[in-house]
């Protein structure tokens, strides 16, 4: 079995979508979800889905090798950032080359970088008057949103779309395509 470890910081809608996609999969399983937020709703989702959820604080992530040691013990085939907001330490990137992927709610390289997540991205897209937006699934390197792009998916938007409507369109793309791309990476298809 190929093993996925998910990282999340928030509500976990992408986590739930990915877990449900791989339920009963003959070759891929979700081993655990790691979160840096003690009160993140993703923990409740994991409890309902029967997926182990592990909390770590920021110093356990960036100030020590604790998370690295946990990941090495779990031996994942892929680490998937699904709404995870912290920058991945270079030690993790080095330990898991081409095994950490992220989803970004815009068409990189536009609207990426530190502080560009969630509604911040959608607000910037609207403010700039973009006619399309989308998602970028990419490998993680030592810099925010600069890893090699794996796939992008686009959706048209209009000037009448609110930030919430843009967010809903982007989330629809995330839920449709993210699990499929994860599966293709793990099965080399």
pLDDT tens sequence across 27-37: 999 999 999 99
Q: Is 104 a catalytic residue?
A: yes
What predicted TM-score, i.e. pTM, was given to this entire model?
A: 0.95
Chain centroid to Cα 97, Å, comes to: 16
Which one from 25, 104, 175, 177 is the annotated catalytic residue? 104
What number of residues does the chain have? 189
Task: Calculate mean pLDDT across residues 10-38.
Answer: 96
* pLDDT band of 189, cuts 50, 70, 90: low
pLDDT tens readout for residues 107-156: 999 999 999 999 999 999 999 999 999 999 999 999 999 999 999 999 99
Tell me, which fold does domain 2-187 have in CATH?
Answer: Rossmann fold (3.40.50)
* Angle, alpha carbons 76-57-114 (nearest 5°): 80
Task: Tell me the three state secondary structure of residue 161.
Answer: coil
Domain spans, the chain: 2-187
Report the pLDDT value the prediction gives residue 58, as an integer from 0 to 100. Answer: 87
Selection from 157, 138, 140 nearest residue 149 by Cα: 138
Q: What is the DSSP letter of 114?
A: T
Q: What percentage of the chain exceeds 70 in pLDDT? A: 99
Residue indicated by tokens 């990426």: 112
């Amino acid at each position: 079995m190929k093993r996925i470890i998910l990282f999340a910081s928030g509500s976990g809608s992408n986590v739930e979508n990915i877990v449900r996609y791989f339920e009963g999969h003959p070759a891929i399983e979700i081993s655990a979800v790691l979160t840096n937020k003690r009160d993140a709703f993703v923990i409740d989702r994991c409890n309902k889905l029967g997926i182990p959820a592990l909390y770590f604080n920021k110093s356990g992530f960036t100030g020590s090798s604790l998370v690295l040691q946990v990941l090495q013990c779990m031996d994942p085939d892929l680490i998937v950032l699904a709404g995870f907001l912290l920058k991945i330490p270079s030690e993790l990137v080095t330990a898991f080359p081409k095994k950490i992927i992220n989803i970004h709610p815009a068409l990189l390289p536009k609207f990426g970088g530190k502080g560009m997540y969630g509604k911040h991205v959608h607000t910037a897209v609207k403010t700039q008057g973009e006619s399309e937006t989308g998602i970028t699934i990419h490998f993680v390197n030592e810099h925010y949103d600069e890893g090699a792009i794996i796939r992008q998916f686009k959706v048209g938007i209009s000037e009448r779309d609110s930030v919430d409507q843009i967010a809903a369109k982007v989330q629809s793309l995330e839920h449709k395509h993210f699990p499929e791309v994860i599966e293709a990476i793990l099965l080399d298809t």
